[in-house]
Amino acid sequence: MVVSSSNKKRITVEKIADNLGISSSYVHEFLSSFKNIVIDKNVVYIIDKSGLVIEAWLKGFNITDIALRSGWRDLERLCSVLFRKFGYVAYMNFRFKWCNEHREIDVLALKVPNIFLCDCKLWRRARVSQLKEAIEKQRERALLFSKAIKGSNFLVDIAKGWKYAEVYPIIITVLEVPLKIYKGIAVVPLSSLRSFLIEFDLYRDILDCYLINLY
């Protein structure tokens, strides 16, 4: 409730307590446990919404429900924060050009030797045809990116010391579905992104990979 109300009118501790049917003191104590919430004169203020979502997730809240309430742009921010938690350098809305073809990547995440190209989908439901179309578009982005980025100043600066880079196109969705590999591209539920990164070596050999030699 607090997350979804943060960009609307101000909300008070009493209002939250009344809506939930619990005591104001309990609401105050609970919200005060979040680093990204400040309560001033019983008005609730959110310091960083993406940070609050991460905190709520770590406390056991459903991250998919939180992401849906937060909105489209915050899904990309949230994915960026999650990647950074795992030591990746992450960029949102990364634009590049190849042979007059312009493309944009929702989230670009890099940690030697991996480069993830993430297409973030706030689908509440997805048809098979819709999924196939998204996969083919992401595959095309990865191919163009691999051609455009090789030898570029961006990659030279960010990947200094790397001998090679492995580019993996993936799709991240808020849909609560099992993680699946479709024609070499992972479709990762947001709720499974953490385990996907932890266990990535288990998936590496069955995913589409675009190798870039950097030496």
Number of domains in the chain: 2
Higher per-residue confidence, 75 vs 143: 143
Coil, strand or helix at 91: strand
Q: How high does pLDDT run on average in the chain? A: 85
* Type of residue found at 49: K
Phi/psi of residue 19, nearest 5 degrees: -65, -35
Dump pLDDT digits (tens) for 104-117. 999 999 999 999 99
Answer yes or no: do 92 and 164 share one domain: yes
Q: How much of the chain, in percent, has pLDDT values that exceed 90?
A: 47
* pLDDT the model gives residue 59: 79
Residues 6+ apart with CB under 8 A from 70: 3, 4, 49, 50, 53, 78
Coil, strand or helix at 79: helix
- CATH code for the domain in which residue 61 is found: 1.10.10
Dump pLDDT digits (tens) for 125-183. 767 788 889 999 999 999 999 988 876 777 767 777 888 999 999 999 887 777 789 88
Answer yes or no: do 76 and 166 share one domain: yes
Which of the four pLDDT bands, split at 50, 70 and 90, describes residue 54?
A: confident
Answer yes or no: do 124 and 209 share one domain: yes
Enter the tokens of residue 116. 């993830």
pLDDT at 87 > cutoff 70: yes
Q: The domain containing residue 65 runs over which residues?
A: 2-70
How large is the average pLDDT for residues 54-70?
74
pLDDT at 53 > cutoff 90: no
Answer yes or no: do 96 and 201 share one domain: yes
Alpha helix (H) residue ranges in 71-122: 72-85
Answer yes or no: do 31 and 85 share one domain: no
How large is the average pLDDT for residues 1-14?
65
Dump pLDDT digits (tens) for 173-215. 887 777 789 889 999 988 888 889 999 999 999 999 999 987 7
Higher per-residue confidence, 81 vs 167: 167
Answer yes or no: do 7 and 55 share one domain: yes
* pLDDT the model gives residue 211: 94
How large is the average pLDDT for residues 68-97?
83
Answer yes or no: do 63 and 139 share one domain: no
Answer yes or no: do 115 and 137 share one domain: yes
- CATH code for the domain in which residue 129 is found: 3.40.1350.10
Answer yes or no: do 13 and 62 share one domain: yes
